[in-house]
Amino acid sequence: MITQEKSSPGTVLLILPVLVLLVLFFGSVIHLFSNGFYDDGEFSTRYFRQIVNRSDYHMVFLRTVVSSLVVAVLSVVLAYPIALLLWRADRWRNTLLIVVLVPWLVSLVVRTYGWIVLLGPRGVINEFLAWLGIIESPVKLMFNDLGIIIGLTHVLVPFAVISILASLLEIESNLEEASGILGASAFQTFRHIVWPLSLPGAFTALMVIYLACIGAIVTPILLGGMTHNFVGSQIYQEVMYTFNMSKAAAWSICLLGLSFVSLLLLKSIERRLLKGRN
Amino acid sequence: MPVSAQPPGQDASAPGSIEIAGVSKRYGNAEVLSNVSLGIDPGSFVTLLGPSGCGKTTLLRLIAGFIESDGGRIRIDGRDMTGLAPQQRPIGMVFQNLALFPHFSVAENVAYGLKLRRLEAREIASKVERFLDLVDLAGLGDRRISQLSGGQKQRVALARSLVLEPSILLLDEPLSALDLQLRKQLQVGLKDIQKALRTTFVFVTHDQEEATLMSDKVVVMSAGRIQQAGAPHDIYVSPENLFVAKFIGDLNEIPARIAAVSDGRMALESALGHIEVPRAAARGFEPVQGKACSLCLRPEMLEAKPASALPAGGAVQVKAQVVDRFAVAGATRLLLTCGEQRLSTVAMTHAAAYLPAPGEICQVSFDPGHVQVFEPLGADMAKAFGERA
């Protein structure tokens, strides 16, 4: 009799990719920590102290967290009506979904440059407002937090649409009819049934988008400029322009910690929000 | 036709009455309901029975107001319902998938409609408790829906609708997802609750046994039309056409030809030979000589006798061979062949009963007065039985 239980060469082959992944992941994390805590060949917490003490660095962290939260909330708020529309549009759902996702076919950098064309001091929006006579001199729409928020929101709204739509589609088809026949108006049905049942999707979107934002690099560089750094773009600068790997590593470790703490906080809020559900 | 088992003297404007007059519904080219008329008495248990696609669920959704009819009127409690949304109608509904709110507890599900009506918290709590008690769920108010068994969910759905005390409750195959034991239990429970509250129940099912067991009135539907409406026993005993005869209960259906028609009598030619039956045996059509028809006999109308038995006065007797014999809960069912024709009989099993073994030759005897003759089924209705017309 042949037993399938014994580990065959095939099983070993299956473990291999996992091993590679583990080695690469933990290897790089270990490398990151050794870089972050060593400077000029000896143990040092210099760059961590720098981050703790310099108020301009505090601003970078504050900007990253606040802007990311704003982007996450804004994306969910903008995506919710779109998701509702797609949910309602039975026959057109797939077509409309493609329209929502088409921007993803264009590279992030190209799309962000598109925003520069729109938001720049001599960009389409400023020219148009000037032409209307609403403004005298160009309004600053980019190289500030506003530009970063607009750019990131644009990139991340489709994520939110998909996440919210998924949870709307999970609502059993005739819960709305049941609510109606029990006496609820369309608005009451939305408020008491559809909205609470779509919350898990909306909150997942909020979480994913927030986490994607605090690690963002390209959009803050292009739309924030040198003066409005995110943690991600700060690290990019340390690596690419000042070649200070230890400093970059220290920042990366802090970003990792920030993500981790954020995730724990968001998860506990989610638990409280969806208490008693399965 | 004397159909319903209702106490007389109830008028159409009493709470719980439904009057459906000439209602039609089309989806594109498909006519789902054509010119359906039906009266439902207050406080009665009415079942819409038919194979899938017969229009029974569409009719229920029209009564609920989820869809609008293309023609005709529906009156509830004497009021015309045209243009009224479901929330404006005095009805409750239990859905096939139950449609319980998964983010509410059992009690919150039941309280939902009461809260929408802005009742006082104390009144809501006492009503919820009373109706949870009614459906045997006392003490389970704090459970999540996902923690309940199938039968318990069923009863939450029932309580959620009944707590609003609608004069009419619509039920769309609410038992179809349950296993047989639980289903039988709930059938009885449902009937008890209906009797206690005197609410009009309109129940949709494709299960003829369920329909006959529970209803005051069964409405047999097929191909978008009502084939027959009446008390379950009346429909079984005197079906108006072959569809109804076959859909309710078991039936021996024997292809036949009308050999002769005279005043009060007609002669039929079939695998059972030449049989004379009363002319009134022809149901729902005018017998004409030479016409093809179906000769129908319920299994309990056939009696198996020993091969040597002499025909009793007036009875028709034909020779047959036993194919198989089944004992089912106090009754014996025989499967026979008479030439090419298959026949089944059923009789109570008792000591003196004649019980031929498979392979044995016997006689089948029946009273020609019990024969019912129908026109063959049209193509649209034969489909329900997996046949071709």
Would you give the distance in Å from CA B257 to the centre of its chain? 30
Going by C-alpha positions, the residue among A215, A219, A214, A209 that lies closest to residue A110 is A219
Beta-carbon separation of B97 and A192 below 8 A = no
- pLDDT value, residue B346: 86
pLDDT number for residue B376 = 87
Name the residue among B92, B99, B105 with its Cβ closest to that of A172. B99
Of B66, B103, B146, the CB nearest to A196: B103
- How many percent of chain A have pLDDT more than 70? 96
Give CA separation, B61 vs A178, A188, B66, B177, B203, in Å: 12, 22, 5, 20, 12
Q: Closest to A181 (Cβ–Cβ): which among B91, B105, B146?
A: B91
- The complex's ipTM works out to 0.81
Q: Is B112 at the interface with chain A, CB within 8 A?
A: yes
How many angstroms separate the CA atoms of B285 and B60, rounded?
31
pLDDT of residue A103: 84
The 10 Å CB-count burial string (b at 16+, else e) for B322-340 is beebeeeeeebbbebebee
Write down all domains in chain A, each with its CATH number in brackets. 6-44 (no CATH), 55-274 (1.10.3720.10)
Residue bearing tokens 């779109």: A82
Q: Which residues contact B19 (CB under 8 A, 6 or more apart)?
A: B12, B39, B40, B73, B74, B75, B76, B78
Token pair in block for residue A13: 């082959």
Q: How far apart are CA B212 and CA B231, in angstroms?
A: 8
Confidence at residue A253, expressed as pLDDT on a 0 to 100 scale = 93
Terminal alpha carbon distance of chain A: 45
Q: How far is CA A103 from CA A26, A109, A157, in A?
A: 34, 12, 11
Regions of chain B where pLDDT drops below 50: 1-10, 12, 389
Helix (H) or strand (E) holding A238: helix A231-240
Mind listing the pLDDT tens digit for each residue in B151-170? Answer: 899 999 999 999 999 999 99
Q: CA-to-CA distance for B273 and B140, rounded, in angstroms?
A: 64
Query: Are B326 and B291 within 8 A, CB to CB?
Result: no
* A183 contacts B113? CB cut-off 8 A: yes
The answer to whether residue A172 scores a pLDDT higher than 50 is: yes
Count, residues in chain A:
278
Report pLDDT for B349: 78
User: Best interface-test mutation with A: which of B57, B100, B109, B112 has the largest number of A CBs within 10 A?
Assistant: B112
For B236-291, how does the pLDDT look when each residue is reduced to its tens digit (9 = 90+)? 999 999 999 999 988 999 999 999 888 888 999 888 888 889 988 888 888 888 88
pLDDT band per the 50, 70, 90 thresholds, residue A7: low
